[in-house]
């Protein structure tokens, strides 16, 4: 663990931030790290670190790789003034504080994952399987089985209102649904397709197309544009309205088997 150059930086005692002159290092310049960097650069000097040299070179040139969240104009406001992208670990030395915004598996390579992060990763994996179990329970209540059922997976991206499907829970959930012989269709207005070990799944063109004739619908992402979907519409489109609501989108309805994560059956 001590062979990694980041370890001596990370485990050094750091003083408390008490003024706006603090210099902060943010590890990871992706969908979490870069927005945090831009917000922090309004008040502090930020050194944005990433191991991907292509990403860093593009950022240095003023080009954002997540245009749907951070535009080139956002970058230009801080680049070279309070924001300094780098792939050199030494640039993080003597920073007042370090903030880690990288996936668990990458962070694990650096040897500085606290136990609570590892635990959260295990919980995330459990929750994906919990979704499968809820779908199975709901279908059984409706007199059906997971095998051969038509299941619509609604939401393919990592989080709402973005187009990035990397690290999306939908990947594992789709793979586990396909395994017992479920017929899976998918929908996401932000992601045209999703690559999984079970193959590439192409998004339906609309909510109606995805839900038409489905026996179970699993809602995984709460895109703003999808929040207006009513349970009555969902019920009218599906062959048997079994709904797993992972984002608290719906209230219970008559004739609907509705199961929510953390709520059981409603």
Check: pTM over 0.75? Answer yes or no. no
188 class by beta-carbon count within 10 Å (0-12 exposed, 13-18 middle, 19+ buried): buried
Name the residues annotated as catalytic.
Answer: 101
Q: Write the pLDDT tens digit of every residue in 92-104.
A: 887 888 888 877 6
Q: Write the pLDDT tens digit of every residue in 8-35.
A: 444 444 444 445 677 899 999 988 889 8
Q: Cβ distance 83 to 48 under 8 Å?
A: yes
Enumerate domains of the chain plus CATH numbers.
Answer: 5-113 (3.40.50.720), 121-265 (3.40.50.720)
Q: What is the pLDDT of residue 16?
A: 46
Q: What is the DSSP letter of 95?
A: -
Q: What is the pLDDT of residue 263?
A: 54
What sign has the CA pseudo-torsion 171, 174, 177, 180? negative
Residue-by-residue pLDDT tens, the chain, 266 positions: 444 544 444 444 444 444 567 789 999 998 888 988 998 898 889 999 998 999 999 999 999 988 777 888 889 999 999 999 999 988 888 788 888 887 766 766 656 556 656 666 676 787 888 899 999 999 999 999 999 999 999 999 988 888 889 889 999 999 999 988 999 999 999 999 999 999 999 999 999 999 999 999 999 998 988 888 899 999 999 999 999 998 888 877 788 999 986 555 55
CA 163 vs. chain centroid, Å, equals 10
């Amino acid at each position: 663990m001590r062979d990694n150059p980041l370890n001596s930086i990370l485990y050094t005692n750091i003083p408390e931030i008490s003024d706006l002159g603090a210099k902060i290092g943010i590890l990871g310049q992706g969908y979490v790290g870069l927005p945090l960097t831009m917000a922090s650069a309004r008040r502090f000097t930020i050194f944005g670190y990433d191991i991907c040299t292509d990403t860093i070179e593009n950022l240095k040139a003023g080009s954002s790789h997540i245009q749907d969240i951070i535009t080139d104009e956002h970058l230009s406001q801080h680049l070279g003034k309070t924001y300094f992208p780098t792939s050199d670990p030494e640039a993080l030395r003597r920073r007042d504080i370090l903030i880690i915004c990288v996936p668990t598996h990458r962070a694990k390579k650096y040897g500085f994952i606290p136990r609570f992060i590892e635990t959260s990763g295990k919980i995330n994996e459990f929750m994906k399987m919990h979704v499968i179990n809820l779908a199975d329970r709901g279908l059984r209540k409706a007199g059906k089985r997971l095998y051969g059922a038509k299941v619509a997976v609604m939401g393919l991206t990592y989080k709402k209102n973005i187009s990035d499907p990397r690290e999306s829970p939908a990947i594992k959930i789709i793979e586990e649904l396909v395994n017992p012989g479920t017929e899976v269709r998918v929908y996401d207005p932000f992601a045209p397709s999703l690559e999984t070990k079970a193959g590439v799944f192409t998004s339906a063109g609309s909510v109606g197309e995805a839900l038409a004739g489905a026996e179970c619908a699993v809602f995984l992402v709460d895109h703003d544009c999808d929040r207006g979907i009513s349970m009555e519409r969902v019920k009218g489109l599906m062959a048997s309205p079994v709904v797993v609501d992972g984002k608290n989108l719906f209230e219970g309805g008559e004739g609907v088997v509705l199961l929510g994560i953390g709520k059981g059956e409603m």
